Amino acid sequence: MSNTPEFIITRRFTAPLERVFAAWADPGQMAQWSGPKGARTVVLSGEVAEGATLFARGERDGEAYVHTLTRYIEIVPARRIVWEQSFADEHGNKTEPAFAPGWPVTLLTEVDFEANGDETVITLRWQPVDATPEQEKMFADNLASMNGGWSGSFDKLDEFLAA
Amino acid sequence: MNEPLDKAFAALSDSTRRAILMRLAEGEASASALAEPFTMSQPAVSRHLKVLEDAGLIETERVGQSRVRRLRPQGLVAARSFIEDMARYWPDRFDRLQRFLDETSDSKDPAP
């Protein structure tokens, strides 16, 4: 049994399975929704294929703020995609991101797709890979225990910061 | 490297220190008032307060004979924004994915 902390989220999408799957499997489509707000993703090399690694740059206001390596482990059309994503430097070497010291360098993402009539249910699992106990703790504190964790208790802090 | 953020995250990595911050979000407090909810000695609490202060997350003000601690919002904003990014990582992307699917649905022209 593994003690690695895991974050699980399920969401129902109002679109047919093939379209939802394509939005993940086609890098051109994925780039249109998968970056953070106000950011865009530029694919530098690679492709979405089992065993392949995609090297990408995240840009905000036209400036690179992150590089990522995404190694696709399993792609089962219309069913499942599994990949490992690591933070990297601009040369594509895995590294801890400067803006997130203590955060795991590599995260495993497993996405399962299931049709439900015209809708699609996605279940996504996220967990650290080869992380130190400290990195696992940071991940667990912030995500694996969203309800009990302190990210959920920021409301009071928000009120304070807004005051 | 980003030393202030390093320090902030190191300070935030401890559950007692996070609890202290949550308490201070309700209002400033003396060290002894902050120690009350915890089963730890005053010196232990003082050490936690020093770590938080060194990281720029809280500040101390002398009021008469006593000293009160309060949050330092500037220090918290940077650390907070990363945590929030991560906690909202998939929920945000799922929102955007649904919008993307809506915008490119068959009833409209597909995206070029």
Query: Taking 50 as the threshold, does the pLDDT of residue B5 lie above it?
Result: yes
Say whether A33 and B93 touch across the interface (CB within 8 A). Answer: yes
Write down the domain spans for chain A: 7-132
Q: Which pLDDT tens digits describe chain A residue by residue (163 residues)? A: 457 888 888 889 999 999 999 999 888 888 888 776 677 888 899 988 999 999 999 887 888 888 999 999 999 999 999 999 999 999 999 988 766 667 889 999 999 999 999 899 999 999 999 998 888 887 877 664 443 344 444 444 455 555 4
Contacts of B96 in chain A (CB under 8 A): 33-34
The model's pTM is 0.65
Work out how many CB contacts closer than 8 A connect A with B.
103
Residue recorded with tokens 């928000």: A158
A contact residues 98-117, partner B, Cβ 8 Å cutoff: 98-103
Question: Could you give the count of Cα atoms lying within 13 Å of A63 in the half-sphere of its Cβ?
Answer: 2
Cβ–Cβ under 8 Å, residues B34 and B21: no
ipTM summary value = 0.76
**What topology does CATH give the domain B3-103?**
Arc Repressor Mutant, subunit A (1.10.10)
How many angstroms away from the CA of A2 is the closest CA of chain B?
22
Furthest CA-CA distance within chain B: 71
| A13 in contact with B, Cβ within 8 Å | yes
Q: pLDDT tens digits for B10-60?
A: 787 777 888 888 888 888 898 888 888 888 888 899 999 999 999 999 999
* The token pair that represents B48 in the structure block: 């936690």
Contacts of B5 in chain A (CB under 8 A): 99, 101
Please state the φ and ψ torsions of residue B29, each to the nearest 5 degrees. -155, 155
Separation between Cα atoms, residue B66 and residue B54, nearest integer Å: 20
Write down the domain spans for chain B: 3-103
CA distances from A111 to A16, A74, A133, B25, B102 (A): 16, 10, 25, 37, 20
Which CATH superfamily does the domain covering A7-132 fall into?
START domain (3.30.530.20)
Cβ–Cβ under 8 Å, residues B46 and B32: no
